[in-house]
Chains A and B, each alone.
Chain A
Amino acid sequence: MNQEQKFLPRHDLDRLLQQLKEESYNCLGPVVRDGAIQYLPITDSSDLPAGVELDQVPAAYQLEFTDGDRLFNWSNGPQALKPLLFRPRENIWQVQRDSSGNLAFSQADESVEPTAVIGVRACDLAALELQDRHFLVPGAEDPHYKKRRDSLLLIGVDCSQPSDTCFCVSTGDGPDLRSGFDLAMTELEDGFVLRAGTKRGQKILDALNLSAATETQLQQVAIQSEQATARQRRLLPDAGVQKLLLQRPEHPHWQNVAERCTACGSCTSVCPTCFCFSEHSETNLDASVSQQVREWSSCFIPNHSNSHGHPVRADIASRYRQWLTHKLAGWQEQFGRSGCVGCGRCISWCPVGIDITQEVNKLVEDTG
């Protein structure tokens, strides 16, 4: 890949969006809705959150509206790319009964259009790679996920304003985009430094016919990255230490967390790597059609561990322990790395503000 970096002046951003449209992509981008940044359809750059800044702390997410020009001056929204690919709820197949009583099974067939997502973060892409590994196991690909995944073009933006809850530096996943993007952008005061990550991205970059980024601009990119890195304060212990969780099932701190946790499942729902789902059938009243519904599940809800009609993990302590040990230690064996990408969503969107980094550090203290 040609690593040459180009510069797109701020007032020309719509040329990029126009180029995507010409290549028949639907565009999704960060939009402010209901007090949060969400990936939603955009028509031009005026839909993007100009001047919006963000304060995230445990159990609180607060947008601040300034008169600045920057469009990506915030860290992240309540969801990463997960709902676009692993749908919160979808019909995966259905069965119909005709008048003579014969059953006909059919796979749900959703039409999927090429979609470009703008503003994707490094943590989003790190999480996407893990979701890919789960849903696209060679020979056993999930067809619903795969179809949507294949339709996606990803335009990332280096994160310049990590929140108080962010710790992607500690997990090694950010704040700069590392891989998984088609096109990467760094936002500067007067425009964007662009680099391609794939041939598709390069094609778009070439079509824009931009001049090369100057030395000064590249220096600004580097300084911004250093500052974003330095802003982060939360730390997750390294992978080897995370494995200690498996050796401490009886640690009294699990009970301590359980006293504060409400088992609401918000952490797993906003976690961009959590992939648990459940299935059930929904049959219409005359039993002529039955849909097989797949929806997000959570290790915090009772039927997640049901066996013979009863939950194996009946209390909150055992559910929190399941989440954390699987996410941080179990995943290392499954996927070769921890399942945490440091996005901090489970901290800010926990309604009671439980902080994964603090809990883990308590659980692995006294490593000697």
Chain B
Amino acid sequence: MSEQARPKVAVHKFSSCDGCQLALLNMGDDLLALSQLVDIVHFAEAGPVDEEQEVDIALVEGSISTPEDIERINGIRQRSKYLISIGACATSGGLQALRNMADTDNWVRSVYPRPDYLSVLDQSSPIADLVQVDLELWGCPVNSGQVIAALRDLLSGVTPRVDVQPVCMECKRQGVVCVMVSRNEPCMGQITRAGCGALCPSHGRGCYACYGPAEQVNSRAVSEHFIEIEVPVEEIRVKFGSINSNAPAFKRARDS
């Protein structure tokens, strides 16, 4: 993608909390720099609304959870040269994928006085389940640095660097004392993808796996160690079944 041509960028939203769009808005000066490099044609949270335009790069936040979503994402895919799904909802189905484990009709009836107004799918799905995704940026939410690095790489015409190493590597590089070894704090960092900068362990808490499964997920080894340090089984299940519950590696762990 040449810089002269001013590539067009769109930011789309599906089922989500908008937090990943905020990661873009929180770029600060870089957002101004970005606006000089690309034409942001659609970004509802920031102002411009023109979902129908053909674009070079589409950033997609949120999961697919209604029949209309399926139609929309197919259209977006057709109109986008390069599609990046951003955040836990778009990459794994998100927190709302907890409903994948339950009876959706039952939920809907118990929460809404007029469930007939709703049209929902039985499952909350990641974007890649529906259309081809060129790059996934995991995280709940993604951080500005990830998005900037990916966009810069694309503008330079190189393949974006994908970090799949575990959070432990980030902790060790930052000199964070392992919270599990020194304080028996159950931590998912060993099997969670890096990218957050070891945010929770650096504040003395175990990792919540916001950035999804690392490349290797030996969930049995982790679970057995959690049991050894007396973490209740129900709590272990929750660790694999929260923000990224629908990510295949965590799903398998939870079901086993």
The answer on A and B forming one complex is: yes
**In whole angstroms, what is the CA distance A270 to B187 when docked?**
18
Give the distance to chain B from A41, nearest Cβ to Cβ, in Å.
Answer: 14
A286 engages B37 (CB within 8 Å): yes
**In whole angstroms, what is the CA distance A296 to B175 when docked?**
12
B182 engages A34 (CB within 8 Å): yes
Query: Which residues of chain B (177-222) have a CB below 8 Å from chain A?
Result: 177-178, 180-184, 187, 189-191, 204, 214-216, 218, 220-222
**In whole angstroms, what is the CA distance A34 to B204 when docked?**
8
**In whole angstroms, what is the CA distance A27 to B35 when docked?**
48
A302 engages B165 (CB within 8 Å): yes
A349 engages B169 (CB within 8 Å): no
Chain B residues, Cβ within 8 Å of A266 = 168, 172, 178, 190
Residue of A nearest to B164 (CB): A302
Task: Render A260-275 as a binary contact track against B, CB cut-off 8 A, 1 for contact.
Answer: 1111111001100000
Complex partner residue of B190 from A269, A303, A348, A351, CB under 8 angstroms: A351
**In whole angstroms, what is the CA distance A78 to B182 when docked?**
10
B155 at the interface (CB under 8 A from A): yes
B177 engages A269 (CB within 8 Å): no
Chain A residues, Cβ within 8 Å of B187 = 351
Pick out which of these stretches binds chain B: A135-143, A172-180, A232-240, A277-285.
A277-285
Chain A residues, Cβ within 8 Å of B37 = 285-286
Chain A residues, Cβ within 8 Å of B36 = 286
Chain A residues, Cβ within 8 Å of B33 = 284-286
A263 engages B166 (CB within 8 Å): yes
**In whole angstroms, what is the CA distance A191 to B2 when docked?**
70
**In whole angstroms, what is the CA distance A286 to B3 when docked?**
10
B156 engages A349 (CB within 8 Å): no
Chain A residues, Cβ within 8 Å of B104 = none
Query: Which residues of chain A (241-269) have a CB below 8 Å from chain B?
Result: 258-266, 269
B233 at the interface (CB under 8 A from A): no
Q: Beyond A83-B175, A270-B172, A352-B222, is A264–B180 a contact (Cβ under 8 Å)?
A: no
Give the distance to chain A from B36, nearest Cβ to Cβ, in Å.
Answer: 7
Task: Render A285-312 as a binary contact track against B, CB cut-off 8 A, 1 for contact.
Answer: 1110000000110100111000000000
Complex partner residue of B168 from A34, A59, A264, A287, CB under 8 angstroms: A264
B168 engages A260 (CB within 8 Å): no
Pick out which of these stretches binds chain A: B51-59, B60-68, B121-129, B145-153.
B145-153
Chain A residues, Cβ within 8 Å of B50 = none
A285 engages B34 (CB within 8 Å): yes
Chain B residues, Cβ within 8 Å of A59 = 180-181, 225
Give the distance to chain B from A118, nearest Cβ to Cβ, in Å.
Answer: 19
B30 at the interface (CB under 8 A from A): yes
Chain B residues, Cβ within 8 Å of A353 = 225
Size category of the binding interface on chain B = 35 or more
B114 at the interface (CB under 8 A from A): no
Chain A residues, Cβ within 8 Å of B152 = 283-285, 287
B222 engages A88 (CB within 8 Å): no
**In whole angstroms, what is the CA distance A263 to B249 when docked?**
15
**In whole angstroms, what is the CA distance A348 to B180 when docked?**
11
B156 engages A283 (CB within 8 Å): yes
A89 at the interface (CB under 8 A from B): yes
B26 at the interface (CB under 8 A from A): no
Complex partner residue of A261 from B181, B182, B221, B224, CB under 8 angstroms: B221
A316 at the interface (CB under 8 A from B): yes
**In whole angstroms, what is the CA distance A279 to B189 when docked?**
23
Chain B residues, Cβ within 8 Å of A295 = 173
Task: Render A65-90 as a binary contact track against B, CB cut-off 8 A, 1 for contact.
Answer: 00000000000001100010000110
**In whole angstroms, what is the CA distance A282 to B148 when docked?**
10
Give the distance to chain B from A65, nearest Cβ to Cβ, in Å.
Answer: 14
**In whole angstroms, what is the CA distance A283 to B33 when docked?**
13
A78 engages B178 (CB within 8 Å): yes
B174 at the interface (CB under 8 A from A): yes
Task: Render B135-150 as a binary contact track against A, CB cut-off 8 A, 1 for contact.
Answer: 0000000000000110
Complex partner residue of B220 from A36, A61, A259, CB under 8 angstroms: A259
**In whole angstroms, what is the CA distance A88 to B197 when docked?**
13
A265 engages B166 (CB within 8 Å): yes
B221 engages A262 (CB within 8 Å): yes
Residue of A nearest to B182 (CB): A35
B225 engages A352 (CB within 8 Å): yes
Task: Render A343-368 as a binary contact track against B, CB cut-off 8 A, 1 for contact.
Answer: 00000110111000000000000000
Task: Render B217-245 as a binary contact track against A, CB cut-off 8 A, 1 for contact.
Answer: 01011101100000000000000000000
A and B contact pairs by CB, cutoff 8 A, 21 listed = A33-B177, A78-B177, A88-B175, A262-B218, A263-B190, A263-B214, A266-B172, A285-B30, A287-B155, A296-B173, A301-B165, A302-B216, A303-B165, A348-B181, A349-B181, A351-B181, A351-B187, A351-B189, A351-B190, A352-B190, A352-B221
A interface residues with partner B (beta carbon < 8 Å):
33-36, 38, 59-62, 78-79, 83, 88-89, 258-266, 269-270, 280, 282-287, 295-296, 298, 301-303, 316, 348-349, 351-353
Known: A258-B218, A264-B191, A353-B225. 11 other contacts (CB 8 A): A34-B176, A34-B177, A263-B214, A265-B169, A283-B153, A286-B37, A287-B156, A298-B169, A302-B215, A303-B164, A316-B218
